[in-house]
Amino acid sequence: VFGFFVLVLRTANAKQPDTAFLKASVANTVRFYSSSIEGQTLLYTGSEYGTPQTRDDQHPFFLSDDWIYGTVRYRGQDYEHVPLLYDISTGQLVTENYYNAEEIVLVSENLEEFTINDHLFRRIQNEDVSRSLPATGYYEVLYDGPSRTIARHLKTLTEDIESHVVKIGYDEKIRYFLLRNGRYLAIRTRRGMLDALEDQKPALKQFLKKNKLRFRRDPEQTLTKIAAYYDTLIAE
């Protein structure tokens, strides 16, 4: 938006006829730009983010330690093109204050969901699912049908001493869950996945074999496709 705003102003200042159309374009762009920035100031009500420990490529963030522009649903309002960092060691979503470049933690109770590089994360209240999840927090929605599958991304800070020097790192783990009868079941193995969907187990085994799906090799893809296929079977 900012680049377009500058482009229009430069065009307006160039030695070209001062047409009514050009004036209207500049006025509309200024109003749009101003309202976009003003709207995003509602995101800047959280606390200041504390700089985490990092080393080389070791960082606590999801995907990247650089800003990624994504979307946010905050207090029921959708915001687009928002700079985001998702700290999966603390479960905090961070944005940048446009006016002073301060890093702000979005208030989790007001944050319903967000996307980063087409990865959708949704805040799930543990009490709403009979406390079947490790904790209330943001979970990536992998498949959003009746047999919803989600993933919990987590990084844990590690410290090793080498030659009397403390070196930090981050161990990343992903846990998968499948929604059944209002509760989430932790899925760790192929057997656990099939047992959770036991009423269609023979058909699911055939589907796995036909599509050459291996849970150990690609748990996310396998679980997602199995859950979606299961929903088609029970819908028949």
Short-list 119, 118, 109, CA closest to 140: 119
Strands 137-143 and 149-162: antiparallel
Residue 109 confidence (pLDDT): 93
Residue 57 confidence (pLDDT): 84
**CB of 95 within 8 A of CB of 106?**
yes
Q: Phi first, then psi: what are they for 208, rounded to 5°?
A: -60, -45
Residue 23 confidence (pLDDT): 56
Tokens found for residue 24: 């209207």
**Percentage of the chain lying above the pLDDT 90 cut:** 69
Residue 182 confidence (pLDDT): 94
Q: Which residues of the chain have pLDDT under 50?
A: 1-15, 26-27, 29-37
Q: Phi first, then psi: what are they for 153, rounded to 5°?
A: -100, 130
Residue 120 confidence (pLDDT): 98
Tokens found for residue 109: 């109770």
The identity of residue 60, as a single letter, is: P
Task: For residues 151 and 127, give the distance between their C-alpha atoms in angstroms, rounded to a whole number.
Answer: 18
Residue 20 confidence (pLDDT): 63
Q: List, for residues 32-42, the tens digit of each pLDDT value.
A: 444 444 557 77
